[in-house]
Homo-oligomer: A and B are copies of this chain.
Amino acid sequence: MAAQVSILKFGVSSPADTSPLKHVKVAGYNASKILAVIGKSEGNGCVNDFSRTLSTVVWEPLIPDSAVTIFSEGTEGVLSPHVTFIVREEEATGLLAAAGRTRVLEPHEIGTAEHATQIASSVREILERTNISRENVNLVLIKCPLLTSEKVGITKAASKAPVTEDTYESMAKSRYASAVGIAVALGEIGESYLDEAMRNETTWSSRASCSSGAELEDCHILIIASDPSSGNLRGISAHMDDAIDANVILRVLDQVKTEKGRVLQVFAKAEASKNGTIRGMRHTMNNDSDIHSTRHARAAMGGLIAGLVGDTQLYISGGAEGQGPPGGGSLAVFYTVAEPHSQKALV
């Protein structure tokens, strides 16, 4: 069975700061209740970001073996480093969650159809095991591995072809494969379409949020779903059509307001459109050789969402390949309402 869960979040003073665990306990949950730790912390969020590894090293001994950690770095602009906890509740809350992992991916599998297939089968297996209906899934968060120079070397030495030799690009390939796997598992695309989706690089799910890091070899999976029959927590899935799509955010916030709710956390993916333009106007994120485009995109979308929500502790993650439409990104908002009533579909 899936766990009924709540969402807590707390600021951190550095990637090594585990003091939020105290706050979790003060809030009435001991560590065994933690299903997932989802961190957003400083660091460039790129290949040589060891703050993810640091967070993993300090957090993993403190939480149950079954819990997953998803540390996505990069708090450019106004974004504030923080940790979000998904904790188990005894009573129905309106939100369900379940976690799991794929098998270890070999370096030559990262970013390939095999990677997507592993994600699809693991997500599907978790849904079946926990009896979560795929229609009710609001968000599938995945942390997946990337290729370092070392892994590229090992792969080539073994006469295998890495999906790319560009380590930064491998992050994008890995995210895309994960997103395609999610789309298959959620029935957004058919399984037979997986290979074609890997080729066209234009398939997307609005419920996927994937980030890649050097600190892991397998993929961590966290699924959050709505249980509209009960509780006072709600989730909305949507997507931004482009990087300045304020309207969808305003619509979601209107719905929260209508329900007299309060936003708990926003999960959004950001990316620089590959065609170099936004609504026909040129952007420069892809031509900046000093700052990677993922950093630009997080800063910009973070500024927009933080301004509208009035909160800077948001999970804005860069690199939206397959996660929302090209140039836009997936968006999931979780909130609490004063009086329980059922989740509305976002029009």
Contacts and interface: CB of A to CB of B under 8 A. Distances in A.
Interface of A: 11, 13-16, 42-44, 46-51, 53-54, 57-58, 75-82, 148-150, 152-153, 165-169, 214-215, 243-246, 249, 274-279, 281-292, 295-297, 299-304, 306-308, 310-313
Given A44-B289, A304-B308, 4 more contacts: A80-B282, A153-B275, A166-B169, A290-B290
B300 A76 contact: yes
A246 B308 contact: yes
Nearest to A50: B51
Nearest to A57: B57
Contacts of A288: 42, 47-48
A83 to B, nearest CB: 13
Contacts of A245: 307
A150 B283 CA distance: 10
Contacts of A278: 78, 80, 312
A274 B274 CA distance: 26
Contacts of A75: 283-284
Contact of A289 (B49, B296, B299): B49
The A contact surface, by secondary structure, is: loop
A155 to B, nearest CB: 12
Oligomeric state, in copies = 4
Contact of A244 (B78, B246, B283, B301): B78
Contact of A304 (B16, B295, B307): B307
A54 to B, nearest CB: 4
12 contacts: A16-B54, A47-B287, A47-B288, A48-B284, A50-B50, A77-B77, A78-B283, A149-B276, A149-B287, A246-B308, A290-B290, A300-B306
Contacts of A49: 289
A277 B79 CA distance: 10
A57 B16 contact: yes
